Structure formats: structure tokens, C-alpha cells
Amino acid sequence: MDEFEQLLNQNKLAFERFVKFRISNLSDAEDILQDVYFTAYKNWGKLKEKQSFKAWVVSIARHKCNDYYRKQAKFSEVPIDNLVETELLLTRLGYAEASFIEDILDSLSDKDKQILHLTYWEELPQKQIAKALDIPLGTVKSRLHAAKQNFKMNYTSKSNIRKDDESMSKLPSKLPEYKISVLSQPPFIVKCEELQGLSIIPKIGEKITWGLYNFASKQCEEFSEVCVLGKAEVHGIEGVEIKSVQHDIKNNQVNERLFVAQLTDTHCRYLSETHWENGVKKCFTFLDGDIFMNNWGFGEDNCGNKILIEPNNLIKREGSRITKTVEKEVLDVVGRYTVEIGDKSYDTVCVMDLGHFNNAIAIEQYIDKNGRTILWRRFNRDDWALKRYKKKWSEQLPENERLMINGETYVHWYDCITDYII
């Protein structure tokens, strides 16, 4: 028995439960499982970390389940009351646009999915639906009404939000003036153990507060209080549990999330994310495929971010002109800079992240010799979320700094600082 077959037999029950929980038709579920196993076998040689076999196959299974529903219902085109299909989702790279129609439909009952499919995709008259399902016309009408209400309830209720009446930020309400100056010295190599997106080192006793500032107005629009609660374990991997309390100042709201993260001698990564939707606690782990990886994962098989940061010559920068020398997403040191912020000065390296969430987001992160983030800056490609905002970013923010990345315009959107620099 070869290694693939051994690992498959060890985890087969988990794969069957994963697929059959999502696909109610047993025959279809069995077909999908066989397709999952065939795909895994065909791509077995591409899996470098064999200990990630279970998570890897679960990711394949999630893709196959999503494909199944797309073929049946064309979920990405659901025309229910002209609902918008995207929202701003907070991820480890800041805000990103996310499609969530599929997730909402996936959460509905089989009866709701069936009636919506027949009505909106098959476009059958209600009398024909009644005949096809062998139910009274009145039942079709009541079922359709209930399905639409359930869809809308899940659409409009996305988070457990409460009023912000408990905390005050330690950070200034207005972003301090700062100046970034390039240095002629070569970049230094630095050990940065911060968890990307939360700016906290995932060790017992650590805590930090970070704020997000609109660069045009300089005002703090939200801040997050982050602390490590204690040890935790996800799918047999030990890490620490982290609580993040996000304060939306503009809308006077608070949203809580829990994470489990792991710090090793070489990497730092997320293992799980938990939040509340409509009063329901939802937890996603690195075994949940794209729904986790697209927002919180990093690296092949979610290996995480390397904590030793050094130049790799994958991104070249000359002033505001930036060239990515490889086709794939990349993170690299682009130079050494002095960051003067408020009345303090820091010797830093600038790390740029291009394309790890999508090709429309660019990140600048200035890290000092202690491995702590001094300044974090977000740039949007000119057409990012154009459908949502109706204008290009160069039109929305004409005074903001611009970068040219491989010939495309990116516009400075917002900045983040932490109480480390206060």
C-alpha cells in the first residue's frame, strides 16, 4: 500500500462526512467523492507537505461541492430583488471585496434552494412548479415567499454588532503627520513575529491596539483592541487564542472575532477564525478550504508568513514605480527608509505585498529593527471595487499618492498605526 492510499484510508471517514453533510443527494455525494479522490491522486505529486494531506483534500472537496451547486443553480447570478453580490470583508490584508451569495444560498434548506432554483433559474411558472413538485399552487407561493425571506434575512444580518459604549482608544483621533525618506544603506534582515493583519505577536501575555486612518481626512475611522487569551488547539495543532474587538467609530458599532494562531521558529499563521452572524457563532479553520484560505490563509498549504524578512529581489522599486518580477503574488523587501511620525524617528525596511488577496491590492509595511510595524499603508488599483463605488480611485481621491505597479495605477487609501509607536 503506497503513502497516498494509506493517508486516504486514514482520513476517508472525514472526507465522506464533509461531502455528505453538504450534498443531501446520496448518489451525487458519492459521485463527488470519487471525483475528489481522483483529483487528489492525479495531483498527489504537487503536494509538498504530506502532513497537510487532510486539509488539502478537504479543499478539493469544497471546490467540488461548490461546482456541483453552480451547475445546478448558477448561484453567482442569483437575481433576487437585484441584491448586490459584494461587500467589504475584513481580512488579514485589510478590507477586500467578497462575493457571498453562494455562502448564503448554501446555508438555506434544500426546500428553499429547490424553489428558488425552479423560480429564478429554470424560470418556471408557479403552476408548472406545483405540477412538477406535486404540491398545491398555494404551497408553491408560500414556500417561495418563505425562501425569499430566509435569503434576505441572511443577506442583511451578517455580524453580531453592538453599540460602542465600553472602550476608548489609546490611539490619537487624528493621524500624526509623518514623513518617509529613502536611505542609501542596504536593508537589514529582521525577525518579525507579528501576525499579519492584527499586528500582534501570538504569544501568551501579548496585547496591542491598532487604528485605521482615512488618509484624506487623517481621522481614525476604527480601531481594534487585540489580546492573547491563552493556549488553544485546532485539529491537533497547538497555538494561542486571540480576541480582537473592532470598534467602528463612524457607525458607533463593535464587532468581536476570535482567532487561533501559531508561531513557530520559522513561520506565523492563522489556524481558525470565529465570528458571530445573526446571533450564531461561526468558526472556520484551515481545513475549510477557500472560505478560510482566501481571507486568512497564506502560503502553500497555509504554511504562513516567514518571520525572517530579507530581500529576495522579487520586487524592484524606484520612487513610485514598482516592478514585480514574477507572475505570481509576492511579498518582498523593497528598501530601507526612515519613518518620522509625530516626534519620533524609526529606521525601517519597507515590505511590499502584491497580490496575495488579489491583484488589485498593494500593501506597504514599514518594520523596525525590533520586528514591529511602524506604519502600514494600503493602496487600491484604480479600478478596485468599481462596481461598488462607481468611480475609479484616482477620481475619488485625486490628491492621494499614487504608485505605478507594472504599468497600472494604484491609489493610496488608508493607513494603520499601533500603540507600539505611541
Domain boundaries, the chain: 3-73, 76-161, 178-421
Element (H, E) at 144: helix 137-156
Give 272-313 pLDDT, tens digit per residue: 999 988 778 889 998 887 778 888 988 877 889 999 999 999
Residue carrying C-alpha cell 461541492: 65
- For residue 181, which amino acid is it? S
The region that residue 335 occupies, defined by phi over 0 for left and psi between -120 and 50 for alpha, beta otherwise, is left
Fold of 76-161: Arc Repressor Mutant, subunit A (1.10.10)
Q: How far is CA 192 from the centre of its chain?
A: 21
Stretches where the chain sits below pLDDT 70 are: 1, 70-89, 96-107, 120-122, 152-169, 357
Give 20-56 pLDDT, tens digit per residue: 877 877 888 888 998 999 899 888 888 888 888 888 8
pLDDT of residue 168: 44
Rounded-to-integer distance, Cα 336 and Cα 188, Å:
8
pLDDT of residue 115: 84
This prediction has a pTM of 0.69
Q: Beta strands 402-405 and 321-324: pairing type?
A: parallel
Rounded-to-integer distance, Cα 234 and Cα 185, Å:
43
pLDDT of residue 161: 40
Rounded-to-integer distance, Cα 220 and Cα 243, Å:
21
**Cell numbers describing residue 386:** 468599481
Rounded-to-integer distance, Cα 293 and Cα 10, Å:
24
pLDDT of residue 87: 59
Domain 3-73 in CATH 1.10.1740.10: yes
CATH architecture, domain defined by 178-421: Beta Barrel (2.40)
CB atoms < 10 A from the CB of 168, how many? 8
Residue carrying C-alpha cell 515590505: 351
Helix axes of 3-22 and 53-73: crossing angle, nearest 10 degrees = 40
**Cell numbers describing residue 421:** 509607536
Contact by Cβ (8 Å): 240, 204: yes
pLDDT of residue 299: 81
Rounded-to-integer distance, Cα 406 and Cα 324, Å:
7
**Cell numbers describing residue 72:** 445546478
Give the chain's radius of gyration (CA, Å).
24
CB environment 21-56: b (16+ within 10 A), e (fewer): ebbeeeeebeebbebbbeebeeebeebeeeebbbbb
